[in-house]
Structure formats: structure tokens, C-alpha cells
A and B are shown apart, each in its own frame.
Chain A
Amino acid sequence: DIVMTQSPDSLAVSLGERATINCKSSQSIFYSSNNKNYLGWYQQKPGQPPKLLINWASTRESGVPDRFSGSGSGTDFTLTISSLQAEDVALYYCQQYYATPVTFGGGTKVEIK
């Protein structure tokens, strides 16, 4: 199985400041034939299902604010919230869909400092 490791487990950021979440896969999830990284990022608020924010490592879903951005390739990926808003307090998960079983990271909790 491809193991997804997120860091940090939690972070506290001041409103308007940048939040950065890292995700590392145990093997490359880049498929050279289509030049895509098979990685998604989700946001989960208490009592709600996860919401897909970004797919293919860097493509924002429709309606997702542009303060959310994804980057990285191969085995190392980052989700950046450029200017943290109160409504961004949540758990964030990365997920690889390069190979089955599909696997998720352990999650990163983002809070307001």
C-alpha cells in the first residue's frame, strides 16, 4: 500500500496569515504517460463529510476560493492557504488515487492562533 504521511498533525495560524500543510507519499504517484500526479486534498469540518478542494495535486475544484493552492510532484506535496480565514478552521486530508488501495493521510488540524 502507498502510505501517505501528513505534517504537521496540527497548526495554529493567525487570521490573514499563510498556512502550509505537507503530504508525502511512500512512492511516486506521478504517472509520466499523462504527466499527472494522482493526489487530492480535502477539507473536513466537524460533523460533515470531506469536501474535495484540489485534484491532480494542483487543480482547484469549481467554487473553491483561490487562497487554496496545491503544489508538488512525485512524492512531496503541499496545500497552502494563502490568507487564513475563520471558515478555514478544519481538518485537511491528502489522498492518493494512483493505485489501489486508495489511501489517505492522517489529517492536519488547522486552527486560529
Chain B
Amino acid sequence: QVQLQESGPGLVKPSETLSLTCTVSGGSISSYYWSWIRQPPGKALEWIGYIYYTGSTHYNPSLKSRVTMSVDTSKNEFSLKLTSATATDTAVYFCARVSPTGSTGGPFDFWGQGTLVTVSS
């Protein structure tokens, strides 16, 4: 059974960079697309982007100028960096696997538990 676990600081200061890592266990990161999705408190889900195990990426245009995703197949993990953080970036951040029977954008069949990142001074 594939498991995903997000890790990173729970508190980020405004204007700084939010950095998270998703570690995949129980399966290989290779041959799959992986995504980051966030959920502001009490609000709906927002897709941030996806990365393929080869390193190719596709970001949500609403965040594209601030987002970078990377993958490290040797560690079976992928990462998210979001620069110039503001209070509106406060959210639970999930990493997820794109179903191999889906398309590049989804659906998402395995999810991490999520990690709350608060942007505040």
C-alpha cells in the first residue's frame, strides 16, 4: 500500500519561502505523476501543480510565478517551494499520487495526511 507523508515547517513568515517535502513509501515514485493540493481552513481544494518522476512539471497559472516542484527518485520523494508567502497561502498542504488509470491531472488515488502551514509573523 502506497503511503505519502508531508514534512516541513508549520510556520512561515510573510515574504519567505514555504518549503515542503513528500516522502513516498510502499511503492516507487517512478512512472507516476505526483501533485500538490492545498486547502485553506474551511475552504475548498486548490490544485497547485504536478510533477512527473522525470522532473517535468505543470503548475497552476494562478501560482506559477511562485511555485517550483522537484523530485528526488533516489530518496523516493518530491518537493514544493512557494516563494513570497502571504497570509493567503495559509492552508493544509496535501501531496497526492495521480491514479495510473487517470490522466496527468488526476484523479488522485493516494494522499498524504496533510500538513498545516501558517504564514504569519
Contact of A49 among B60, B101, B113 (CB under 8 A): B113
Which label, helix, strand, loop or mixed, suits the secondary structure of the B interface? strand
Q: Is the CB of A55 within 8 A of B44?
A: no
* Closest chain A residue to B63, Cβ basis: A101
Give the number of chain B interface residues (Cβ < 8 Å): 25
A80 at the interface (CB under 8 A from B): no
Closest 3 CB pairs of A and B: A97-B106, A40-B107, A49-B111
A52-B107, A100-B105 given; 15 more Cβ-contact pairs under 8 Å: A38-B103, A40-B102, A40-B106, A40-B108, A49-B112, A52-B108, A55-B99, A93-B45, A97-B103, A97-B105, A99-B105, A101-B47, A101-B60, A102-B105, A107-B44
Using a CB–CB cutoff of 8 Å, the interface residues on chain B facing chain A are: 35, 44-47, 58, 60-62, 94, 96, 99, 101-109, 111-114
